[in-house]
Structure 1
């Protein structure tokens, strides 16, 4: 589940000599919530996150109903650096709309986005939380450091491909084929079981459909395999504003696979929307090359190799002079 597996990995890292950047022993999926976590998947890692969601929509004022399914696919790739990842997301919806005696089958790409996320600040990097061997109280005291979040920025774009019957554009107004999106991401780890992820986005920048959106996700790890979450998502735009409450759970099948389930309901009835979905995340980690970040004062294997190489070069120069 979102950030749970990085939670256990980072807890382990804090008592070790080295920090292993973004890659964790277990998969760190953004599912089943809608927020994006601050940490990347790791250099050369490919991760797929898929899901199928049942959608029921009822509009009291316009007197229509729509019921169907949404297929979701996100592909994340660790690119060039441990802190950087490329993210592609697609949603395809197919449903049946009815209003009185009128009935229409609808289908199309609801969302297609491509962007990149970069970890700007990691509070766990070059930090070692040493246990106090003489005081149980000191080891369990409240730590203000947990309020310092990891921070990332995402920048990307929305692509409007084909006829999209699922937007909330007024009659006669069409969305542009491309619009930018930026997101600020903060991630806090509270104790050994809780993770808070906050996203603040400015979406469809420079268009009539521009909106400010947020997602706040609180995750609780119950054990090494099970986790649960509760989430609040909000949209604030000229043509559509809403709030959604969502909750669910995830199960770590093995270190590279996760299954999940969630349910969500918005606060409006124009329209009222109910979602219930299941998902699967899979990490392909065969190409990963371990990157070690040394703690201050420690000497990495790379440092030792460079030092040894320098000593050999100095010896060659000395022999040449003699």
Structure 2
């Protein structure tokens, strides 16, 4: 149903029509780049979104978690806590992002033969991400000013994802109690990233090759579905799969995030795996903060519609105006 049918007074109809036409033309004339009005954080999930934070934008994502680990076959238990820090910076190009991921963990390991306290940098990863393709960079065209339904029907274009690539490397700090035996100092990592927007839902898929060209090579995926429930609240569900000769697993996560300000977000999450070699149970909270004072908006203008005439030789612009007048008269 068109919005024009819900107004009882002609003056309200004209007022609404003017506002709708203004915003419709505005959204099709200007198309912004990577930067969004509110912070776009990878937390609280473990997947990486396809878009960068924006050129000259700095973003920090900090989290604290508790973890319980139990291995049925090796007969040990480990209980501990940790912190995660991701630093992201957009530089050189709007689509380019450099990032550093750090994870520190301390736990108490207990078994029949060994009891010890372990602590250290469990993960240190540096990398770069680049968005190769954004299907929304070019608008589909002008909206239908007569029908709300026509402008909000399902678009098959939403099935085409944004596509990014990530390349990085793990740096194995010496005396790391959480690393594999004789793990190399540098282990390459690569990732294919896709991201779809389906209304209030965002689907992110990561296809990962980890510790490439080492004895501990693994491959896997992360699928994250996020939904916005209000301008401030959002929730997510996530599934991660890992396959390797030394470690394989399947992990499920869920949680929510709350937007305090346009550049500050807090979150909470919980997760577990489905196996017992070892079994994992963990939960945490986090904070994301963005500094964007140096950012300058990048606007891409779409070509203006060329004026033309219909088959009767009348201007199309005049024909559109006449149609709007007819709608007013019908009211």
TMscore range, shorter length: 0.7 to 0.9
CA contact (8 A) 1:13 1:20 kept: no
Give, in angstroms, the shift of residue 13 of structure 1.
Answer: 11
1:132 equivalent in alignment to 2:140 = no
* Unaligned 5+ runs, structure 2: 1-22, 306-331
- 1:67 counterpart residue number: 79
Q: Which residue of the partner structure matches residue 223 of structure 1? A: 230
3-state secondary structure, aligned to 1:251: strand
Deviates more, 1:95-104 or 1:244-253: 95-104
State how far apart, in whole Å, the 2-side matches of 1:270 and 1:239 are. Answer: 12
* Matching of residues 207-222 of structure 1 within 5 Å: 207-222=214-229
Paired residue for 1:206, among 179, 204, 213? 213
Query: Contact 1:27 / 1:283 at 8 angstroms: preserved in 2?
Result: yes
Superposition pairs of residues 2-151 of structure 1, within 5 angstroms: 15-100=27-112, 102-128=114-140, 130-151=142-163
2:197 aligned with 1:185: no
* CA–CA separation in structure 2 for the residues paired with 1:185 and 1:234: 15
Distance in 1, Cα, partners of 2:303 & 2:107? 57
Residue 275 in structure 1 maps to residue 287 in structure 2:
no
Q: Distance in 2 between matches of 1:237 and 1:205?
A: 11
Structure 1 pair 55/260, CA: closer, same or farther in 2 (3 Å)? same
Determine the C-alpha separation between the residues in 2 that align with 1:215 and 1:14: 36
Q: What's the counterpart of residue 252 of structure 1?
A: 259
Cα distance in 1 for partners of 2:195, 2:141 equals 18
Check whether the contact 1:40–1:82 (CA below 8 A) recurs between aligned residues: yes
Off by >6 Å, runs of 4+ in structure 1: 11-14
How far off is 1:133 after superposition?
A: 2.5
Task: Please give the alpha-carbon distance, in whole angstroms, between the structure 1 residues aligned to 2:24 and 2:207.
Answer: 29
Question: 1:149 and 1:14, CA in 2 relative to 1: closer, same or farther beyond 3 A?
Answer: farther
RMSD: 1.8
TM-score (norm 1): 0.84
Q: Partner of 2:18 in structure 1?
A: none
Residue ranges of structure 1 left out of the alignment (5+ in a row): 1-10, 299-322
Task: State the alpha-carbon separation in 1 of the partners of residues 25 and 116 from structure 2.
Answer: 55
* 1:126/1:294 contact within 8 Å kept: no
**Larger CA Rg, structure 1 vs 2:** 2
* Distance across 1 between alignment mates of 2:303 and 2:88: 31
1:137 to partner: Cα distance:
3.9
- Determine if contact 1:13/1:19 at 8 Å carries over to the other structure: no
Change (3 A) 1:244 1:12: farther
Query: Once the two structures are superposed, what CA deviation does each residue of 1:43-65 show, in whole Å capped at 9, x if it has no partner?
Result: 00000000001010001111111
Distance 2:217 2:287 in 1: 31
